[in-house]
Amino acid sequence: MSVPQLSDEHRGEEILAVLDTAFGELLAADPAAFRVKFRKMAASAFAFYRGTASLFYHDLSAEHAGPGGAAHSGPYLDERTSRVWIHGDLHAENFGTYMDAGGRLVFNVNDFDEAYVGPFLWDLKRFAASMALIGYAKALSDEQITGMVSVYAAAYRERIRALATGAKRDEVPPFTLDTAQGPLLDVLRDARSLTRFGLLDSMTEIRDFERRFAPGGGAIELDAATRYKVLAAFDGYLETLPDSSLARPDSYRVKDVVGRRGIGIGSAGLPSYNILLEGHSDALENDVVIYVKQAQTP
């Protein structure tokens, strides 16, 4: 991706203008959170890139301005390929491990809060740039970085070809303990060694024979009005779940709720919360923590 060349001064002014448009209101409401965000972003080129998706899309629009000023032009884009569900902020640190609905540990994309209907190339370019920045930070050669990006693009093409020619979803296996190799297998094994009890022990304590969030460690006590709004939002979420998820309704009983601070580069200034649930049994070690964050327009 090439960006129109500007002087350092003009480029700096352009960056500030884009960030003001994207974060101005949030920054005014919580300047301390953004001081932390900007300090994190200053640590490396990749950290800056992570926190400035708005700047990335501003530059894309300037490079490929199609109808209406949107970045929809190019040899690979038409009315269909310009309007597909994309990740929206596809970079290397939005991948990780999680349990799927069947209880299987997988490595995959695990952060979707910037999902958007747009050109598929946006995802390809954003992820390729993140790989290049990480490769640069690790002192890889230009040839090695080019090789990584080429492997990624080829794998993407092959996966899309398989799906487009009728392959079923389960015919393109995910990365699991059975299919992963090398560093990915190590990551999955490390994740498997972690336990729910270890997580609960780091965030909660037992008071009056019941588990509650422990004070400190980034937890914020909520006033009654905020607590009510959070619980109302959670009730709205429960209404979207399939009936099969509600086999034991008590598993979603809320035990405690607290605010959180200092979560991620991209979440600065956005209210976020932890909700403690009963879990699938009355045993205290089966309690579940749900992370809730205020949504914003991608």
Tens digits of per-residue pLDDT, 218-235? Answer: 888 999 999 999 999 999
Identify the band that residue 107 occupies on the pLDDT scale cut at 50, 70 and 90.
very high
How high is the mean pLDDT of the chain? 87
- How many C-beta atoms lie closer than 10 Å to residue 37's C-beta? 23
pLDDT for 211 equals: 94
In whole angstroms, what is the distance from residue 261 CA to residue 245 CA?
Answer: 30
Q: Which two tokens stand for residue 236?
A: 């709205």
Total residue count of the chain as it appears in this document:
298
pLDDT of residue 1: 53
Give strand pairing partners of 275: 257, 290
Q: Which pLDDT belongs to residue 266?
A: 65
Query: Does residue 19 register a pLDDT over 70?
Result: yes
**Is the model's pLDDT at 17 over the cut of 70?**
yes
Q: Looking at residue 237, what is its pLDDT? A: 92
Percent of the chain clearing pLDDT 70 (strictly above):
90
Tokens of 35: 């001081």
Token reading at 6: 């500007």
Give the residue carrying structure tokens 């990740």: 87
pLDDT value at position 223? 93
What per-residue confidence (pLDDT) applies to 217? 78
Neighbours of 83 (CB within 10 A): 14
Q: In the predicted model, what is the mean pLDDT of residues 13-26?
A: 90
pLDDT bucket at 69, cuts 50 / 70 / 90: very low
| pLDDT of res. 130 | 96
Question: Per mean pLDDT, which range of 56-60, 61-65, 258-262, 286-290 is the poorest?
Answer: 61-65
pLDDT, residue 112, reads 85
Confidence of residue 236 (pLDDT cuts 50, 70, 90): very high
Cα 56 to Cα 15, 52, 126, distances in angstroms: 10, 7, 8
Q: Is the pLDDT of residue 239 over 80?
A: yes
- Phi first, then psi: give them for residue 166, nearest 5 degrees: 100, 5
**pTM for this prediction:** 0.81
Domain boundaries, the chain: 8-83+120-172, 196-293
* Average pLDDT, integer, range 40-69: 82
Q: Does the pLDDT value for residue 64 go beyond 70? A: no
Q: 2 falls in which pLDDT band (50, 70, 90)?
A: low
59/21 Cα distance (integer angstroms): 14
Q: How far apart are CA 235 and CA 241, in angstroms?
A: 10
Q: What is the pLDDT of residues 151-202, one digit of tens each?
A: 999 999 998 888 888 867 666 678 999 999 999 999 999 999 998 889 999 9
Q: Using CA atoms, how far apart are residues 124 and 4, in angstroms rounded to an integer?
A: 20
